[in-house]
Amino acid sequence: MNKSRVEAFTDAIIAIVMTIMVLEIKVPHGAGWGSLWVEKAYFVAYLISFFRIATTCYNHHYLFTNARWISRRAFWLNIGWLFFMSLFPVAIGWISEEPHSRAAAYFYFLIFAVWGITFYVMVAVLAHDNPKNSKSILQMLRPKRSLFELASLIIGVVVIYWLPIMALIILGINIIFWLVFPPKGSDKLL
């Protein structure tokens, strides 16, 4: 499949999801700073989601720059990845309305988890489909970051049961890890 068409489609969906997130920003009710504090769960969920999309968008660009060919499998994994991303505004809305709800926290956390797993599988498929560039594509799966993400997913699934707000904390820490350990050979942010 034509790589540039997949990239253009992906960029369009990412722009739409981020636009929906921006349009859904809650305006605090009141004139004082305390009005912002009332909406803290929303702003934290929005911040995490925004920066996770931005970081992964950068990594997606890196990934597709190193891939020469996009197979049907890679295309549909990309579609799945975009689908789970499209659920971010729903997840943000629910966890911000019910920050102590176990169901809302699991939904928010699991949407991110499945979205991330889909991305990792897409990396593996693109590496398989592009054997000449597989080494640079597989740089996306750095052991430190991959182990940290796996551990945070396991810990998150357990801890959220007792403390739902941990969904936001664990995913916030996860974003920082992505920034500190970017794909080898890409530009470093920190």
Query: Which tens digit of pLDDT belongs to each residue from 115-159?
Result: 989 999 999 999 999 999 888 888 877 766 778 888 888 999 999
- How many domains, in total, are found in the chain? 1
HEC letters along the chain: CCHHHHHHHHHHHHHHHHHHHHHCCCCCCCCCCHHHHHCHHHHHHHHHHHHHHHHHHHHHHHHHHHCCCCCHHHHHHHHHHHHHHHCHHHHHHHHHHCCCCHHHHHHHHHHHHHHHHHHHHHHHHHHHHCHHHHHHHHCCCCHHHHHHHHHHHHHHHHHHHHCCCHHHHHHHHHHHHHHHCCCCCCCCCC
- The alpha carbon torsion through 16, 19, 20, 23 (nearest 10 deg) reads -160
- In tens, the pLDDT along 49-58 reads 998 898 888 8
The reported pLDDT for the residue numbered 55 is 84
Residue 69 covered by a domain: yes
User: pLDDT class for 189, splitting at 50, 70, 90?
Assistant: very low
Residue 66 inside a domain? The answer is: yes
Asked if the structure places residue 186 within a domain, the reply is no
- In a domain, residue 17? The reply is yes
Q: How confident is the model at residue 17 (pLDDT cuts 50, 70, 90)?
A: very high
pTM above 0.85, yes or no: yes
| pLDDT tens-digit series, residues 92-116 | 999 988 989 999 999 999 999 999 8
The answer to the question of residue 53 being in a domain is yes
Give yes or no for residue 30 having a pLDDT over 90. no
Residue 185 located in a structural domain: no
The answer to the question of residue 30 being in a domain is no
* Residue 187 resides in a domain: no
pLDDT in tens, 58-103: 888 888 988 998 999 999 999 999 999 999 999 999 998 898 999 9
Report yes or no: 166 and 160 within 8 Å, Cβ to Cβ.
yes
Structural domain of residue 88, as residue ranges? 3-24+35-180
